[in-house]
Structure 1
């Protein structure tokens, strides 16, 4: 029997018992607490009984907005990201304020950063962008039926707003000009939505 004739392995179920994989917290310590992130260093017990250290960032969570213009183009941003020392091409995004819901945050960030407001919104899903060292969860929101007004950037925030087609974004990703992971996930979700494979449940704002 050739390798191609072997039956495909079943996909793992995220809800299968996982006691043999889990790590249990023994002690948790804050190493640094900043304006909106916190660095923690924990001591954990591994599944085999040994102990290990885990260092990670506690993040409040964020949203990303795939905002669709009437001509099919997408609202995009160019923003300098200091940690990587590059100006990045991204979908609009921002962190959740304390007690703020995902939709309210998405509406606020889109308006503040780009000046656009949307009449229709849909939550596509969530992503964990950096599971190895941060708690961050990003909600993926779609925005449609846009109207443009004046933007209201935060103090010390500088970014360009422009529009692009999905095809242009894909070309930039292929060529290494677009490398932001949340934007790449948004592009995938948009492609599935436009193909009719992943429908969205729209709500009026």
Structure 2
């Protein structure tokens, strides 16, 4: 059996080099497993939650949003950062209402993932929601999104074709699709799951 603990790097020092509204950048000196020293630059992130909202007919509520770093519009699931002291499920339900304009009391935690392990400590928690009720959309003042219902199966096909290529959305859709196939609280139309 291999000793994976021999891979651990130990922090020698840490310096915050940038503090923004959302992200904090650190420069750390570390001791490597072989005893030598190196540096690590990384981003501290508060974490986020993402929700895959499923209607009874098998449609999802998807979002379209322009993302400045890529200068393009992406298909996305509703998602957002965890506010300080906010429970993760509350973040998920808040983002569902604010961005997608739907609410529910019926949801499940599907899991989590780390989108940028080489440069960030961000974790994204994945939820599936159903028994959705329409409510007014309440996006942030500097946030512009459009909503569109598409069949769950079509969204998964769009992942495989590359039309949906936001990493967060790709992972959330595939993990939710697998969860839904095993745990669906209601049966979808046959055409929506084939």
Settle same-fold status: TM greater than 0.5.
Answer: yes
Is 1:131 the counterpart of 2:131? The answer is no
Q: Give, in angstroms, the shift of residue 193 of structure 1.
A: 2.1
Partner of 1:24: 10
Listed as ranges, the gaps of 5+ residues in structure 2 are 186-194
In structure 2, relative to structure 1, the CA distance for the partners of 1:60 and 1:163 (3 Å cut) is same
User: Does the 8 Å CA contact 1:124/1:200 hold for their aligned counterparts?
Assistant: no
Decide which structure has greater helix share.
2
Is 1:52 the counterpart of 2:52? The answer is no
What does 1:122-201 align with in structure 2 at a 5 Å threshold?
122-196=108-182, 199=183
Q: Give, in angstroms, the shift of residue 120 of structure 1.
A: 0.4
Q: Give, in angstroms, the shift of residue 75 of structure 1.
A: 1.0
Partner of 2:86: helix, strand, or coil? Answer: coil
Partner of 2:174: helix, strand, or coil? Answer: helix
Is 1:107 the counterpart of 2:79? The answer is no
Deviating beyond 4 angstroms after TM superposition, the runs of 4 or more aligned structure 1 residues are: none
What TM-score does the superposition give when structure 2 sets the normalisation length?
Answer: 0.90
Distance in 2 of aligned mates of 1:19 and 1:32: 31
Partner of 1:77: 63
User: Which of 77, 83, 88 pairs up with 1:91?
Assistant: 77
- Superposition CA RMSD, Å: 1.8
**Higher radius of gyration, 1 or 2:** 1
Count of residues in correspondence between the two structures:
185
User: Does the 8 Å CA contact 2:62/2:149 hold for their aligned counterparts?
Assistant: yes
In structure 2, relative to structure 1, the CA distance for the partners of 1:40 and 1:200 (3 Å cut) is farther
Partner of 1:182: helix, strand, or coil? Answer: helix
Distance in 2 of aligned mates of 1:187 and 1:18: 32
Distance in 2 of aligned mates of 1:132 and 1:79: 26
Partner of 1:30: helix, strand, or coil? Answer: strand
Partner of 2:75: helix, strand, or coil? Answer: strand
User: Does the 8 Å CA contact 1:120/1:145 hold for their aligned counterparts?
Assistant: yes
User: Does the 8 Å CA contact 2:54/2:152 hold for their aligned counterparts?
Assistant: no
Distance in 2 of aligned mates of 1:69 and 1:17: 47
Q: Give, in angstroms, the shift of residue 179 of structure 1.
A: 0.6
Listed as ranges, the gaps of 5+ residues in structure 1 are 1-11
Partner of 1:103: helix, strand, or coil? Answer: helix
User: Does the 8 Å CA contact 2:13/2:29 hold for their aligned counterparts?
Assistant: yes
Distance in 2 of aligned mates of 1:177 and 1:42: 38
